[in-house]
Structure 1
């Protein structure tokens, strides 16, 4: 979940809670204020009635208005205290029941006890309360909506430098040996982030160059000792006495030297590809390269009892000739090395893609790991070094091709889209 989305959710939830609670509190506070004003009006009427009785020793004449009524009821006992309350009653000849605010108090006139009830209509108060609540709630809702829209626009604009930095980092490739260029946003936090990212990528690039140079130099320097070991091992194999005494040891040395030679060759090839030492691209006929490789490997296919099925269309692609041979050779070598007896190898070539499929005793491989260096399935034979598919992937990257892997109906399928 994006930070902006999470912030909006919290902000909206808090705004709704504030809106609801504020509206309820505002309603009850305003209602209490309006009722207090109405009670003060009723109290004024009470004061006038008491004053009139004190001056004339009789009750004032009842004059009922539209929104006010006064009634006198004789009681046997004096009415104590003063009571304010609201009640629904029918006003005059009206049919609908309306809210009325009532004041009840007792008074003694000429030796008689009376209960006086002063009633005022509460309808205007309720209408005013309703109108004020609607206007107030509308204003609050409008303010919250405006705040949300403004926050959304402002925050989106403020975070624009961050997403620009993310886009630059996504496009950055360490192997291209290009410095990461991040613009100045004017926001201190984002500028600090850009500075640290630039320093980090510079350090990573320096470390990468050191490691790459070391691996290339190491692989290059290993060629001479390997050649010496191979030459002396072959010389030992010519000595029948030594061969009889140390046959297994010499064979083990030969196998190890061969594996180390292949590993050295592959590492050097990877270093050359990463250093863009195959810049020259030209139109090549890929179908002829495949035919040539399958012809060269025909005896190996026959010795392992593998059936080859080719569906090749005449295809020309723009690629370095040597790299094209590397792709075909590595995919075919893997298809042969990890195949099973009486297995099948299929190659389909169209102007859009090349598909190499093969049977195998191995189950499906992990798609996200097949192009990693030295990755091998646990059940893989020990003679592989795990660099073949990594080389194919690197060649596809520098030539603009796409490598995909799939496993269907017992076939390992490698597709290269041009």
Structure 2
């Protein structure tokens, strides 16, 4: 839920609660005011009746008052006035229907001309209740219209005020540390947004600077390491060809040579992985997986023949728009992995369709957790020439292209599948 919606809903519920409480209080206050007004009218009517009795005027507009019986005289020995609401059955003229109507009633017990009288005066509450409900409903409609107007006004104002924030949020989502230009943020007159923009600007500039420094360091370090490694390997090769070393020295030199070769390979692999993570292969072109797979099969032909591996393939002519260097590395690593972890006289099956690339190979049962298969330096084989980075590179290439990489194993048949879920494919004519 967005902040604007959350705030608007909070204000709406708070307004409803306040309105309900206010409506109850309004009805209560109006009822008291109306009852007091009716009580004054009833007292006036009682006083008129009392004066008519006191001065022996005929009661043309009122019923004749009744003298108190003994029980009433005993119960009300002093002058007493009682107010209460009561229901009286009355006939609706012209309809012949009887219904109860609510009245406000005054009952007075007074002594007039040395006689005790009971005076009763009533006034209908129907009009007063109708008047109260008219006021309440009118107030309700006015408040509802006011709330709707305020909600619309608040929503429009909030959208206008928060527009720079959402604009900057979208720009921040699309921001890349590889961009040379600083991020452009929407200006705002709100102090908090100004501080946020300044913090984002400083942070992105720092990220760009750190990325540039790290990239430069990685490339320089890799380049500088390759030169002494190449010199060391060439010197060791010359020593191995010398006739002045014995067998033990030759074995030690070969061990050093293999370690240097492994270190050189590790350096190149880590550099490639860093470049993939930093998305330095952003150039895209139309790539034929079929041609790349055929080419890699030729490159690895000797290794395939060495293990007497049977290769079956089903390759489509579909074209995918991506970086050819990354795809070539992906195919090479998948094929190298299928050969390296295969068994003698094993099989490799390669399938490429519009939406998927599948490499299946026979091999020993996987040891360890498959979840760690794509982590760096996590390797399942005991081969000394395995760095544990091949599948990590494959996973990183898939992540960069937003492809789905999955591994499965059934009856010692290992399968790596790449699903091109976020890539547009075309048919090659």
TM-score of Structure 1 vs Structure 2, range by shorter chain: 0.7 to 0.9
Task: Give the structure 1 partner of residue 156 of structure 2.
Answer: 153
Task: Give the structure 2 partner of residue 406 of structure 1.
Answer: 406
**Structure 1 position 23 matched with structure 2 position 23:** yes
Task: Give the structure 2 partner of residue 34 of structure 1.
Answer: 34
1:244 to 244, 248, 271: 248
Task: Give the structure 2 partner of residue 101 of structure 1.
Answer: 104
> Is the CA contact (8 Å cut-off) linking 1:358 and 1:413 kept in structure 2?
no
In the alignment, the residues of structure 1 paired with residue 53 and residue 282 of structure 2 have an alpha-carbon distance, to the nearest angstrom, of 118
TM-superposed CA distance for 1:30, in Å, is 1.1
Alignment deviations for residues 255-289 of structure 1 (CA, whole Å, 9 cap, x no partner): 4323321122234445667585896x776654233
In the alignment, the residues of structure 1 paired with residue 362 and residue 36 of structure 2 have an alpha-carbon distance, to the nearest angstrom, of 92
**Structure 1 position 75 matched with structure 2 position 78:** no
Task: Give the structure 2 partner of residue 290 of structure 1.
Answer: 293
- The correspondence of residues 386-401 of structure 1 with structure 2, limited to 5 A, is 387-388=389-390, 391=393, 401=401
Query: Kindly tell me: are residues 323 and 302 of structure 1, through their superposed partners in 2, closer, same or farther at Cα, counting changes over 3 Å?
Result: same
In the alignment, the residues of structure 2 paired with residue 92 and residue 350 of structure 1 have an alpha-carbon distance, to the nearest angstrom, of 90
TM-superposed CA distance for 1:205, in Å, is 0.5
- Which has the higher mean CA deviation after the structures are superposed, 198-207 or 339-348? 339-348
In the alignment, the residues of structure 1 paired with residue 346 and residue 135 of structure 2 have an alpha-carbon distance, to the nearest angstrom, of 86
Task: Give the structure 2 partner of residue 63 of structure 1.
Answer: 61
- Which has the higher mean CA deviation after the structures are superposed, 85-94 or 153-162? 85-94
Q: Secondary structure at the match of 2:183?
A: coil
> Is the CA contact (8 Å cut-off) linking 1:308 and 1:345 kept in structure 2?
yes
- Which has the higher mean CA deviation after the structures are superposed, 27-36 or 142-151? 142-151
Q: Secondary structure at the match of 1:183?
A: coil
TM-superposed CA distance for 1:211, in Å, is 1.0
TM-superposed CA distance for 1:245, in Å, is 6.0
Q: Secondary structure at the match of 1:95?
A: strand
**Structure 1 position 196 matched with structure 2 position 199:** yes
Query: Kindly tell me: are residues 406 and 138 of structure 1, through their superposed partners in 2, closer, same or farther at Cα, counting changes over 3 Å?
Result: same
Give me the TM-score of the superposition, normalised by structure 2: 0.80
In the alignment, the residues of structure 2 paired with residue 346 and residue 154 of structure 1 have an alpha-carbon distance, to the nearest angstrom, of 62
> Is the CA contact (8 Å cut-off) linking 2:285 and 2:323 kept in structure 1?
yes
- Which has the higher mean CA deviation after the structures are superposed, 305-314 or 120-129? 305-314
> Is the CA contact (8 Å cut-off) linking 2:281 and 2:323 kept in structure 1?
no
Number of equivalenced pairs = 404
Task: Give the structure 2 partner of residue 375 of structure 1.
Answer: 376
> Is the CA contact (8 Å cut-off) linking 1:49 and 1:60 kept in structure 2?
no
> Is the CA contact (8 Å cut-off) linking 1:236 and 1:242 kept in structure 2?
no
In the alignment, the residues of structure 1 paired with residue 136 and residue 396 of structure 2 have an alpha-carbon distance, to the nearest angstrom, of 69
Task: Give the structure 2 partner of residue 43 of structure 1.
Answer: 43
Alignment deviations for residues 183-211 of structure 1 (CA, whole Å, 9 cap, x no partner): 21333322321222112101110111111
- The correspondence of residues 172-211 of structure 1 with structure 2, limited to 5 A, is 172-211=175-214
TM-superposed CA distance for 1:111, in Å, is 2.1
Task: Give the structure 2 partner of residue 130 of structure 1.
Answer: 133
Q: Secondary structure at the match of 1:97?
A: strand
Give me the TM-score of the superposition, normalised by structure 1: 0.82
- Which has the higher mean CA deviation after the structures are superposed, 218-227 or 131-140? 131-140
TM-superposed CA distance for 1:169, in Å, is 0.7
